[in-house]
Amino acid sequence: MVGKIKYVLFFILLGSFNLKAQNVKAKPEPGDGIERFLSRYNLYQFSSNRDSFLKINNLSSTDFLKMGEDYLLPIKYYTYNGKSIRTSIGDNDYEKALRIKAYNEILEEQNIKSKSYFKDKVLWVPYHELFGNVILQKDNKSVEQSDSKEIIETRTYEIFGDKYKKVDILSSELKGKVYYIISGHGGPDPGARCQKEGVFLCEDEYAYDISLRLARNLIKKGARVYIIVRDNDGIRDERLLACDYDEVYLGGAPLSRSQGKRLRQRGDIINRLYNQNKNAGFTYQRAVVVHVDSRQENQKVDLFFYHFPGSRVGYNLAETMLKRIQTEYSEHQTNRSYTGVVKSRNLFMLRETKPTTVYIELGNITNEFDQKRLLIENNRQALANWLALGLEDDLD
């Protein structure tokens, strides 16, 4: 039951009686299948959670859940000692502790946990933090432009989906360059929305798909790329991308319901990685924030770019990418002009992130003409190609 649920705790024997090794029980709600039930607790997107749920409840993936019956959740219960998460669970991994903290906070915000672990001393640790956090992938099909360059090596990135997970490294042009790709919104916040053919178009889904394509292009040229907001959809070909709410951050932390917290979460992740890479000797680091605008339906909007006020490097990056888009439009869309612009804005992600950051608006999601830029898969790929070229131009 959602709301301030009553959860049942029981002890598991692991060789010897261990007060820390406890699990949480809960009852499914009407209409719950396994995916929906686990998704309520922000668990389903990780394979270790799903597989463990089936095992500890003696279920198969095709079984139905029974109303009124208690099921063991892949969440361990620890008594919070009032000092720290790390000492409470016996694990000194600081990044893991931050993710566990965020996980408990979002459950509290969703009224799944009735109290903060500070107050009730009940700390929930999901299995994916204990036994691995491999994100599940869905079956994806797509079309990609071919590349005839010689392949240096092939790497596998599950986040791109089944068809795209094999990435051919074609050059070392971007070796030593670090990019943070951040698609806008996600989780409880889908961003701008509008209806098309009886379904909703959600900003976060289209920004994410183009962000994945951009990241993949950069990886192909040897860049070190971090995808900050992560879904389990992979790169998709469909025109109408289904909206969902299961996005997580790099490392597995859920997205907060609070907009302010969401921004701080992603800013903190980027800044920690920036410091690590800087200390490791990486001198060129850039962040790319991808959004879709929402305006009146009759207002067409070309791609435009923001930089932080007073940042000369940020302005140069945005201008360089704008010029690349202008060049590509003049070559591939000769029947129309390009009206994108560069502006300065004091946005959180431009102000609070340490790497030089460019903020991109892809178009007006409510405008029928702009929608073609988003809905047609080849157009999404073209946008990713052109944005990647703009980032490469920044090196000249």
Q: In angstroms, rounded to a whole number, what is the distance separating the alpha carbons of residues 55 and 74? A: 10
Angle at 204 between CA 382 and CA 138, to 5 degrees: 80
Cα 214 from chain centroid (whole Å)? 14
Q: What residues form DSSP beta bridges with 182?
A: 289
Residue 154 has pLDDT above 80, yes or no: yes
pLDDT of residue 132: 67
Mean pLDDT computed over every residue of the chain: 87
pLDDT of residue 332: 81
Residue 264 has pLDDT above 50, yes or no: yes
Written as one string, the DSSP assignment of 156-174 is E-GGG-TTT-EEEE---TT
pLDDT of residue 21: 59
Residue 171 has pLDDT above 60, yes or no: yes
pLDDT of residue 133: 57
Q: What are the sequence ranges of the domains in the chain?
A: 8-131, 153-393
- 21/239: higher pLDDT: 239
Best CATH choice for the domain 153-393 from the list 3.40.630.40, 3.40.640.10, 1.10.10.10, 3.30.930.10:
3.40.630.40
Cβ neighbors of 342 (< 8 A, separation 6 or more) are 304, 305, 306, 307, 315, 318, 319, 322
Residue 334 has pLDDT above 90, yes or no: no
What does the pLDDT look like over 230-259, one tens digit per residue? 999 999 999 999 999 999 999 899 999 999
Q: Quote the pTM value.
A: 0.65
Residue 1 has pLDDT above 90, yes or no: no
Residue 7 has pLDDT above 70, yes or no: no
What does the pLDDT look like over 116-153, one tens digit per residue? 898 999 999 999 888 765 444 333 333 344 344 578 88
**Mean pLDDT of all residues in 336-358:** 95
Residue 214 has pLDDT above 80, yes or no: yes
pLDDT of residue 12: 32
Residue type, 32: D
pLDDT of residue 9: 40
pLDDT of residue 75: 94
Percentage of residues of the chain with pLDDT beyond 90: 66
Burial of 200 (0-12, 13-18, 19+ CB in 10 A): middle
**What pairing do the DSSP bridges indicate for beta strands 304-307 and 177-183?**
unpaired
CB atoms within 10 A of CB 64: 10
- In the numeric block, the tokens 């670090």 are attached to 178
Q: How confident is the model at residue 43 (pLDDT cuts 50, 70, 90)?
A: confident
Cβ neighbors of 84 (< 8 A, separation 6 or more) are 97
Walk across the sheet containing 304-307 and list its strands: 224-227, 177-183, 284-293, 356-364, 304-307, 342-344
